[in-house]
């Protein structure tokens, strides 16, 4: 255990140093350092040694990563960009799967994959990683609307990909018939129920939040709300069965976490905004009193006391977010170390052609989907105009993550193409992490002045 702790702390420290000194994104640094550490120490597992243990670890860490990223989403932004996020997180996934079905024989004709198998395979590589995107974006001054589109999509499309994987792909792989009515019905049921569970847990979290003025207790409320929503959603059938039902319905734990945290954070940020207004009011009152000939030291003292109390309240809320972000950074480090331990380089080399084909296919499909989004958005008043630079950023923001490996472990162990699927998914994760991250750094770095001007113009407009 001590060795594991030392490994995690050392790799995280070095990754942060690379980020600070050389501007290497922390996810990229974590992956590189994790591989170096794993092979330097004779491939001795520090955390886990196989896919099933890794999947358990990912499920354990996933909620805290979602909590951290969900704190960046605001209700006002979701409302303003609802149509854009609907396309990016839902419509683009559906269109991508349909495109995959149309070209699957050309891509993997030798394997004779069924419709269900194609849906399962592509759903796994369509789920993106919000941690990497947020990490890269944090280094640059970017327009707020571009950040919302990219970060919101990377967070919300995981739920869509997981629904397509579990309720359509695996359902059909089990020999069940899939119809348009079934897909629409189960999607609506899962999405609406997951959102409702998340918001309900979020409101319960607010009750706990109002009972404390301790920032560590506030952090625990966010953890309880996030993990509670995830657990209830994933085991929703238990509650139905207690009520006399006979159901096996699983909801989306990802969606439940997102909306539970957004609910708590919305009220918390409203409190921060109110505190900001109070601070401005008290500062103005102090200035007026200081300039007055008949200033009262008693009034100034009371105003200063109130100002200090308000500042402390605001700082507590903001530091709670920082605490969660630190926790998520540690969780992400653990995740990448575990990933390095379970990757079989011989297996990746054996299926190198399939990996490259899938990587190129998904990259082209994503580019087309983002191009279609730009064409629609630029003709719609309620959506943000997308220029060529924004299109390129959105295209390469599709970095894959650990959720894809969790999906692998859900495929039946006796499925004949399981080994190929595992190699392809892990290979695409690795390629997208290195190539997409490098592309984003290059595109944003070379055009940082343009993005900065867009941000200033956006701020001026508001």
Dump pLDDT digits (tens) for 259-278: 999 888 887 777 666 656 66
- Model confidence pLDDT, tens digit, residues 39-53: 777 666 667 766 677
- Give which of 319, 317, 318, 314 is closest to 278, Cα–Cα: 314
Instruction: Give the pLDDT band (50/70/90) at residue 16.
Output: confident
320-347 mean pLDDT = 82
Would you say residue 164 has pLDDT above 60?
yes
Is 284 in contact with 262 (CB distance < 8 Å)? no
CB 437 within 8 A of CB 27: yes
Of all residues in the chain, what percent are helix, strand and coil, respectively (each to 5)? Answer: 80, 0, 20
Whether the pLDDT of residue 93 is over 90: the answer is yes
Q: At what angle do helices 26-40 and 418-446 cross, to 10 degrees?
A: 130
- Which of 62-71, 126-135, 227-236 is the least confident region? 126-135
pLDDT digits (tens, 9 = 90+) for 408-448: 888 888 899 999 998 999 899 889 988 998 899 899 989 98
Count of domains for the chain: 1
Question: Could you give the CA distance from residue 32 to residue 355 in angstroms, rounded to a whole number?
Answer: 20
Which neighbouring-strand residues pair with 400? 128
Closest CA to 225 of 195, 198, 252: 198
Please, how many CA atoms are within 13 Å of residue 107, restricted to the half-sphere of its CB? 23
Buried b (16+ CB within 10 A) or exposed e, 7-22: bbeebbebbbebbeee
Distance CA 85, CA 92 (A): 10
CA atoms within 13 A on the CB side of 7: 25
Q: What's the CA gap between 79 and 70, in Å, rounded? A: 15
Q: What is the pLDDT of residue 30?
A: 82
Identify the three-state secondary structure at position 60.
helix
Spatial distance between the Cα atoms of 223 and 217, rounded to a whole number of angstroms = 10
pLDDT at 78 over 90: no
Q: What pLDDT does 303 receive?
A: 59
Per-residue pLDDT band for 27 (boundaries 50, 70, 90) equals confident
224 falls in which pLDDT band (50, 70, 90)?
Answer: very high
Rounded CA Rg of the chain? 24
Q: In this structure, are residues 62 and 402 in contact, taking their beta carbons and an 8 Å threshold?
A: yes
CATH number assigned to the domain comprising residue 146: 1.20.1530.20
User: For residues 73 and 146, which has the higher predicted lDDT (pLDDT)?
Assistant: 146
Dist. CA 439–CA 30, nearest whole Å: 18
Biggest CA-to-CA distance, the chain? 90
Question: What confidence score (pLDDT) does residue 329 get?
Answer: 83
When pLDDT is averaged across residues 141-168 and rounded to a whole number, the result is 88
What's the pTM? Answer: 0.82
**Per-residue confidence (pLDDT) for residue 462, from 0 to 100:** 47
Produce one character per residue of 83-93: b if its CB has 16 or more CB atoms within 10 Å, e if not: bbbebbbbbbb
Answer for the pair 47, 210: CB distance below 8 angstroms, yes or no.
no
pLDDT of residue 408: 84
Q: In the predicted model, what is the mean pLDDT of the chain? A: 84
Q: Tell whether the model's pLDDT for residue 258 goes beyond 50.
A: yes
Domain enclosing residue 266, as ranges = 2-461
Q: How far apart are CA 258 and CA 256, in angstroms?
A: 6
What are the C-alpha distances in Å from 107 to residues 100, 103, 356? Answer: 9, 6, 11
pLDDT of 120 strictly over 90: yes
DSSP state of 110: G
- What is the reported pLDDT for 305? 61
CA angle 400, 405, 409 (to 5 degrees): 160
**How many helices (DSSP H) and strands (DSSP E) are in the chain?**
21, 0
Q: At what angle do helices 215-234 and 51-70 cross, to 10 degrees?
A: 130
d(CA 320, CA 225): 14
**What pLDDT is recorded for position 230?**
92
Q: Helix (H, G, I), strand (E, B), or coil: what is residue 154?
A: helix
From 250, 101, 120, 124, select the one nearest 173 (Cα to Cα).
120
* Contact partners, residue 239, CB within 8 Å, separation at least 6: 232
Share of the chain above pLDDT 70, in %: 85
CA distance 147 to 138: 10
Does the structure show a pLDDT above 70 at 285? no
What's the confidence (pLDDT) of residue 360?
A: 96
Asked which of 104-113, 132-141, 373-382 is least confident by mean pLDDT, the reply is 132-141
For 244, what's the count of Cα atoms within 13 Å in the CB-facing half-sphere? Answer: 0
**Of 192, 204, 194, 190, the residue nearest 233 (C-alpha):** 194
Instruction: Kindly state the average pLDDT of the residues 349-361.
Output: 95
Q: Are 329 and 62 in contact (CB under 8 A)?
A: no
Amino acid 394: pLDDT? 95
């Amino acid at each position: 255990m001590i060795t594991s702790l030392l490994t995690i702390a050392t790799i995280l420290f070095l990754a942060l140093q690379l980020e600070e000194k050389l501007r290497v994104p922390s996810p990229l640094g974590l992956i590189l350092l994790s591989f170096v550490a794993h092979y330097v120490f004779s491939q001795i597992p520090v955390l886990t040694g196989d896919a099933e243990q890794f999947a358990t670890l990912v499920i354990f860490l996933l909620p805290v990563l979602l909590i951290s990223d969900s704190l960046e989403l605001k209700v006002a932004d979701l409302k303003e960009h609802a149509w854009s996020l609907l396309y990016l997180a839902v419509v683009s996934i559906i269109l991508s799967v349909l495109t995959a079905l149309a070209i699957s024989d050309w891509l993997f004709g030798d394997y004779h994959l069924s419709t269900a198998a194609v849906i399962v395979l592509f759903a796994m590589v369509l789920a993106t990683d919000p941690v990497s995107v947020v990490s890269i974006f944090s280094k640059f001054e970017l327009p707020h609307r571009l950040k919302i589109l990219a970060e919101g999509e990377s967070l919300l499309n995981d739920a869509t990909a997981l629904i397509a994987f579990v309720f359509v792909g695996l359902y059909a792989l089990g020999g069940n018939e899939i119809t348009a009515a079934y897909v629409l019905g189960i999607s609506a049921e899962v999405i609406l129920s997951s959102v409702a569970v998340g918001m309900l847990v979020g409101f319960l979290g607010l009750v706990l939040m109002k009972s404390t003025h301790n920032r560590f207790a506030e952090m625990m409320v966010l953890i309880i709300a996030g993990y509670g929503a995830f657990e209830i959603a994933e085991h929703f059938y238990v509650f139905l069965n207690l009520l006399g039902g006979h159901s096996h319905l699983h909801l989306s734990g990802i969606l439940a976490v997102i909306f539970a945290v957004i609910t708590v954070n919305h009220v918390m940020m409203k409190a921060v905004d109110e505190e900001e207004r109070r601070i401005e009011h008290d500062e103005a009152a102090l200035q007026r009193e200081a300039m007055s000939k008949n200033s009262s030291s008693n009034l100034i003292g009371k105003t200063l006391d109130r100002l200090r109390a308000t500042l402390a309240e605001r700082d507590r809320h903001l530091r709670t977010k920082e605490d969660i972000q630190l926790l998520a950074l540690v969780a992400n480090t653990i995740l990448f170390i575990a990933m390095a331990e379970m990757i079989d380089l011989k297996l990746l080399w054996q299926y190198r052609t399939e990996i490259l084909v899938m990587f190129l296919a998904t990259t082209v499909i994503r580019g087309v989907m983002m191009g279609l989004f730009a064409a629609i958005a630029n003709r719609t008043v309620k959506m943000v105009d997308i220029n060529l630079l924004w299109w390129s950023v959105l295209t390469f923001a599709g970095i894959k993550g650990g959720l894809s490996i969790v999906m692998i472990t859900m495929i039946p162990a006796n499925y004949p193409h399981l080994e190929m699927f595992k190699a392809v998914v892990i290979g695409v994760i690795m390629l997208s992490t290195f190539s997409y991250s490098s592309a984003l750094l290059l595109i944003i770095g070379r055009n940082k002045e343009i993005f900065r001007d867009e941000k200033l113009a956006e701020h001026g407009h508001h």
